[in-house]
Amino acid sequence: MTPLPSQSDTPLVRVHDLSVRFAGTPPVHAVNNVSFDLAPGEVLGILGESGSGKSVTLKTLLRLLPERKTRITGTIEVDGQDVLSLQGRALADHRGGVASMIFQDPSLALDPVYTIGQQIAETVIRHEGASKTDAMARALEMLELVRIPSARRRLDNYPHEMSGGMRQRAMIALALACRPKLLLADEPTTALDATVQIQILLLLRDLQQELGMGVIFVTHDIGVAVEVSDRLAVMYAGSFVETGSVRDVIRDARHPYSKGLLAANLVGAVPGTRLDAVPGAPPALSALPEGCSFAPRCAHAEAACSASPIPVWTGGDGRWARCVQASRAEAMAGAGGRS
Ligand SMILES: Nc1ncnc2c1ncn2[C@@H]1O[C@H](COP(=O)(O)OP(=O)(O)OP(=O)(O)O)[C@@H](O)[C@H]1O
């Protein structure tokens, strides 16, 4: 498959032709030929409906999927390391040291039987070999960084002794404790009240700038995606169908799926705006159609949309859309311009 335009010569993350299949009868094609780069300090928002493969993409970057039933092909490089070949100590260093992840549900990251201070300190000891005193000092520093009030007292709290928003901050403190270069955020604000959601988004944006991290933020909330991202990738049925700067995608979407989503959802988009109102439903990931997976739902579909490969329209600055119609429209505009 032709590599798609990249944003940076020295990316922090380079994913090429990534596919993830789960064994089963029939197998589930959760991620299909996904390629993208992420520059250091850049925020990529992956926007897509429920079940489009966003979480699986993130988990693959951290190698969190069950190995026995998962087949991964393609390549993933993070900070120059070939992630799919990491083993043992190198894999442990990757998870939590180079890259770490925050979730919608903080109980996936926080252990109920240890205090917040113990959990952060333990991570720092494990990754950096720090002394207990230094690790506890780092834990306090992290709780202050994520603006938890009375941070020193909170070190001794168990997760259940904190409010939902506070637990989310504690999970972020834990994820950032070893200063990762890459933060993977899996809908970290979706379950929160609107006010707390905005506070956590603002916190994440500040921390990203302060620490200069690359962030991949997956969401099905357009308002959130626009708020936090530099670049957007629209994901549909396990594939990226369009990417570009937030501004370009919002102003001038080229894929009919992105157009439909944005037309239906963008007016006054604020966090809390869900993806809906594109008629029809996505295909089962165990029975993807040949060619463009969106074709059965697309008002502009034609015979060429059911054949592979689907042509890719490319603009400047890492901008592209995989669509027969978008490619043809550009070719015709080019021919018209030359005549
Ligand atoms: N461990 C697994 N084994 C089998 N199938 C899985 C596994 N994890 C995810 N899937 C399937 O992969 C597909 C993509 O799931 P994924 O969680 O990535 O979607 P998503 O876009 O993150 O959706 P949501 O926003 O609802 O979390 C789904 O069909 C899901 O059922």
For ligand 1, the distance from its centroid to the CA atom of residue 42, given in whole angstroms, is 25
For ligand 1, the distance from its centroid to the CA atom of residue 136, given in whole angstroms, is 36
Per-residue pLDDT reduced to its tens digit, 200-255: 999 999 999 999 999 999 998 888 899 899 999 999 999 999 999 999 999 999 99
Please give the average per-residue pLDDT across 319-333, as a whole number. Answer: 87
Q: What number does the ligand 1 atom closest to the CA of 28 have?
A: 5
Ligand 1 atom 9 nearest Cα: 56
Q: What number does the ligand 1 atom closest to the CA of 53 have?
A: 18
Per-residue pLDDT reduced to its tens digit, 76-99: 999 999 999 999 999 999 998 999
User: What is the pTM assigned to this prediction?
Assistant: 0.91
For ligand 1, the distance from its centroid to the CA atom of residue 51, given in whole angstroms, is 5
For ligand 1, the distance from its centroid to the CA atom of residue 57, given in whole angstroms, is 9
Which residues surround ligand 1 with Cβ inside 6 Å?
Answer: 22, 28, 30, 48, 50-56, 66, 220, 285
Q: What number does the ligand 1 atom closest to the CA of 186 have?
A: 22
Ligand 1 atom 2 nearest Cα: 22
Ligand 1 atom 12 nearest Cα: 30
Q: Does residue 115 contact residue 161 with C-beta atoms inside 8 Å?
A: no
Ligand 1 atom 8 nearest Cα: 56
Q: What number does the ligand 1 atom closest to the CA of 218 have?
A: 22
Question: How many angstroms separate the CA atoms of 196 and 133, rounded?
Answer: 32
Residue 53: predicted pLDDT: 96
Question: How many angstroms separate the CA atoms of 261 and 277, rounded?
Answer: 7
DSSP string over 78-92: ETTEEGGG--HHHHH
Q: What number does the ligand 1 atom closest to the CA of 187 have?
A: 25
| Beta pairing class for 239-245 and 320-322 | antiparallel
Please report which residue ranges of 38-193 form alpha helices under DSSP H.
Answer: 54-61, 88-94, 116-128, 132-145, 151-154, 164-176
Question: How many angstroms separate the CA atoms of 25 and 37, rounded?
Answer: 33
Please give the average per-residue pLDDT across 62-70, as a whole number. Answer: 95
ipTM confidence score: 0.97
- Structural domains for the chain: 13-98+180-282 (3.40.50.300), 109-178 (no CATH)
Under the banding of pLDDT at 50, 70 and 90, the label for residue 324 is: very high
DSSP string over 240-307: EEEEEEHHHHHHS--SHHHHHHHHHH-TT--TT-B---SSS-PPPTTSPPSS-TTGGG-TT--GGGGS
Per-residue pLDDT reduced to its tens digit, 263-306: 766 544 555 544 555 778 899 999 999 999 999 999 899 999 99
Pocket mutation for ligand 1, best pick of 19, 20, 28 (most atoms within 8 Å of C-beta): 28
Pocket mutation for ligand 1, best pick of 49, 54, 261 (most atoms within 8 Å of C-beta): 54
